[in-house]
Amino acid sequence: MYQYSEQDHQLLLERVSQFRGQVDRRLKGELSEEEFKHQRLRNGLYLQLHAYMLRVAIPYGLLSSEQMRTLAHIARKYDKGYGHFSTRQNIQYNWPKLEDVPDILDDLAKVEMHAIQTSGNCIRNTTSDPLAGVARDEIEDPRPYCELIRQWSTFHPEFNFLPRKFKIAVSGATHDRAAVAVHDIGLRLVKSDSSEETGFEVYVGGGLGRTPMLGKVIRAFLPKQDMLTYLEAILRVYNMLGRRDNIYKARIKILVHETGEEKFRELVEAEWEKIKAGGLFLRDEDFNWVKGFFNDPAYEAIPDNDVDFENLMLNNAEFARWVDKNIELHKQSGYRIVYLSLKTAHQPPGDVTADQMDAIADLADKYSLGHIRTTHRQNLVLSDVQLKDLPALWEELKALDLATPNYNHVTDIISCPGLDYCALATARSIPISQAITARFDDYDFINDLGDVSINISGCINACGHHHVANIGILGVNKKGTEVYQLTLGGSAREDAAIGKIIGPAFEADEIVDAVGKVLAVYLESREEPEETFLMTYRRLGQAPFKERLYG
């Protein structure tokens, strides 16, 4: 994990006292709410329906147990005892008081955390693969690159007042667990044709919101040494040419679309030519320095089997289910990756209580080398668990209600806060996700359905990523009632796709049935159990689903 230098610490302390000054000026009336807004947003502080909301960054999704305990402490002391893990490796607190926020930031700074640039029209927290460094399909660990991007983008003086927010994601594996295609810039680590060099496939102009678009490949291979100069060139073109006349047309996706991919590429390459040899060019020394923070932990040389584990697999169906659904293979023999499901019928998706956070920190120390990761689908990961420890870990997770066997399955729903918290919402989303979870909460059914995703957003801003779910649900307000539009066929992975609206919207009390019908059509139509929902949908198109829903 990256270790802060004295200067990194200094920067956080200066930032906290600067923000304390801004809050002070606001409370004294020296700053108008409008001007304070620009400042607080650059520090992750939104004004919500009932209160402020504070979004804290978890750079590329990596947390130490000590950091997790601080998050628990903040939830307990300044909030109502819980926090909400978002789809972009942040945690959100829904109830902080404005005057407490500087103290919260102080507490965070002690454990090398902050809320810098977690909102506002600037470069946001860079996100990555939650399995970075442990995945079997990894080409190279993306975290050193993420850390370089974090430093480059933090308080970048030129790009702090962009036309619109700017999100970057980096994936280092063949499977995309970071949704790079729906980011303003997505970087996918690849090997060059000669296979000797590592570099990036560069996607620009992805994003959801009211005009969902997938990123375009602006460069098929960018040598890794050029990563930051190239990012700087893209951002510079965007800062000068991105639209500022209409907030809905201000994201880089619209600039790429309106300029045309070819012309946009030319603009970026022309700017890049002028700066590629500058101070941001990355040398071997720079990589060696930053990679030094992400060396493999001291794994034990252990066999990839364990008698107690295997016995329990045979004798305890519940344990076997959990292993089947929530455990993934590790690059290291004898180790496993464990998903902690934050999706039960009793909690909004992504919510974790302070007590759970503390307990998870303890489990990380006991079983997983003291680290926790957060995922795009709003779950947590213990990345380095020994096979022999799985039975004990399972017992403890069950007691914490974190062992629902549903990772990447139908009840593993992404949902935004919706009308329960959000000032922009047009409909509720959490109650819908809970109703769906309650309806389909049957292991055999979930297992039979296999890999399928449901995402829910409470308005067109699409924080719940409904466009890129296999089954997407968008809440809208139609003449005073909340109704729900159904979108089918999206994907946020390496086969990324924007889903299509299937037909007229459903009332709140019809939407769960509608989802049920869609799932039934799939189960009846698939050619074999291995054919996933998405494969079936792609083979058959909308017709049979439409027929069942509206016929």
Partner 1 sequence: MDNYIKDRKVDSDGWMPFTGLEDGSSLPTGDIYVPVEEWLNAREALLTRNGRLGVALRNTDDPAIIKDDLDRLDLVVLEFPKMADGRAFTQARLLRERYGFKGEIRATGDVLYDQLFYMQRCGVNGFELRDDQNASHSLKAFDEMTVTYQPASDEELPLWRRQK
Site residues, ligand SF4 (CB under 6 A): 416-418, 422, 424-425, 457-459, 461-464
CB closer to ligand HEM out of 374 and 404: 374
What is the spatial distance between Cα 469 and Cα 409, in angstroms, rounded to a whole number? 12
3-state SS, one letter per residue, for 188-226: EEEECCCCCCEEEEEEECCECCCCCECCEEEEEEEEHHH
What is the spatial distance between Cα 511 and Cα 483, in angstroms, rounded to a whole number? 8
Beta bridge partners of 171: 188
CB closer to ligand HEM out of 95 and 319: 95
CB closer to ligand SF4 out of 133 and 464: 464
316 is a site residue for ligand HEM (CB under 6 A) = no
Which x/- pattern, by CB under 6 A, does the window 388-427 give for ligand HEM?
----------------------------xx---xxxx---
CB of 275 to ligand HEM, least distance (A): 27
Cβ–Cβ < 8 Å for 430, 349: yes
Tell me which of 274, 438, 503, 513 binds partner 1, using CB under 8 A: 274
What is the spatial distance between Cα 386 and Cα 405, in angstroms, rounded to a whole number? 19
Tell me which of 26, 39, 119, 336 binds partner 1, using CB under 8 A: 39
CB closer to partner 1 out of 77 and 243: 243
239 is a site residue for partner 1 (CB under 8 A) = yes
Instruction: Quickly count: other Cβ atoms within 10 Å of residue 332's Cβ.
Output: 18
318 is a site residue for partner 1 (CB under 8 A) = no
What is the spatial distance between Cα 168 and Cα 248, in angstroms, rounded to a whole number? 19
Identify what 178 binds: partner 1, ligand HEM, ligand SF4, none; CB under 5 to 8 Å per kind: none
What is the footprint of ligand HEM within residues 145-164 (CB under 6 A)? Answer: 164
CB of 227 to partner 1, least distance (A): 12
Nearest Cα residue to 45 out of 109, 104, 87: 104
Question: Phi-psi region for residue 76, left (φ > 0), alpha (ψ -120 to 50) or beta?
Answer: alpha
Identify what 156 binds: partner 1, ligand HEM, ligand SF4, none; CB under 5 to 8 Å per kind: partner 1
CB of 411 to ligand SF4, least distance (A): 20
Identify what 289 binds: ligand SF4, partner 1, ligand HEM, none; CB under 5 to 8 Å per kind: partner 1
Tell me which of 27, 220, 240, 399 binds partner 1, using CB under 8 A: 240
Which x/- pattern, by CB under 8 A, does the window 138-167 give for partner 1?
----------x--xxxxxxxxxxxx-----
| DSSP assignment letter at 350 | T
Cβ–Cβ < 8 Å for 416, 429: yes
292 is a site residue for partner 1 (CB under 8 A) = no
CB closer to ligand HEM out of 430 and 488: 430
3-state SS, one letter per residue, for 481-541: EEEEEEEECCECCCCCECCEECCCCEECCCHHHHHHHHHHHHHHHCCCCCCCHHHHHHHHC
What is the footprint of ligand HEM within residues 31-50 (CB under 6 A)? Answer: 46, 48
CB closer to ligand HEM out of 199 and 209: 209
CB of 377 to ligand HEM, least distance (A): 10
Residue with structure tokens 């304390």? 20
Identify what 53 binds: partner 1, ligand SF4, ligand HEM, none; CB under 5 to 8 Å per kind: ligand HEM
What is the spatial distance between Cα 98 and Cα 261, in angstroms, rounded to a whole number? 43
The DSSP annotation for 351-404 comes to EEEHHHHHHHHHHHHHHSTTEEEE-TTS-EEEEEEEGGGHHHHHHHHHHTT---
Its sign, for the CA torsion 4, 179, 343, 464, is positive
Q: Please, which residues have CB within 8 angstroms of residue 141's CB and are 6 or more apart in sequence?
A: 132, 133, 172, 291, 294
What is the footprint of ligand HEM within residues 61-100 (CB under 6 A)? Answer: 84, 86-88, 92
Identify what 14 binds: ligand HEM, ligand SF4, partner 1, none; CB under 5 to 8 Å per kind: partner 1
Tell me which of 207, 475, 490, 499 binds ligand HEM, using CB under 6 A: 207
Q: Where are the alpha helices (DSSP H) in 242-389?
A: 252-259, 261-275, 284-291, 307-315, 317-326, 354-367
Torsion of the alpha carbons at 114, 119, 120 and 126, rounded to the nearest 10: 80
CB of 164 to ligand HEM, least distance (A): 5
Give the binding range for partner 1 (CB under 8 A) out of 77-85, 87-95, 273-281, 525-533: 273-281
Beta bridge partners of 371: 64
CB of 266 to ligand HEM, least distance (A): 25
Residue number closest to ligand HEM, CB atom: 209
What is the spatial distance between Cα 359 and Cα 253, in angstroms, rounded to a whole number? 41
Residues that bind ligand HEM in the complex, under the rule CB under 6 A: 46, 48, 53, 84, 86-88, 92, 164-165, 182, 207-209, 251, 416-417, 421-424, 461-463
Site residues, partner 1 (CB under 8 A) = 5, 7-8, 10-11, 14-15, 17-18, 21-22, 35, 38-39, 121, 148, 151-162, 228, 236, 239-240, 244, 274, 278-280, 285-286, 289-290
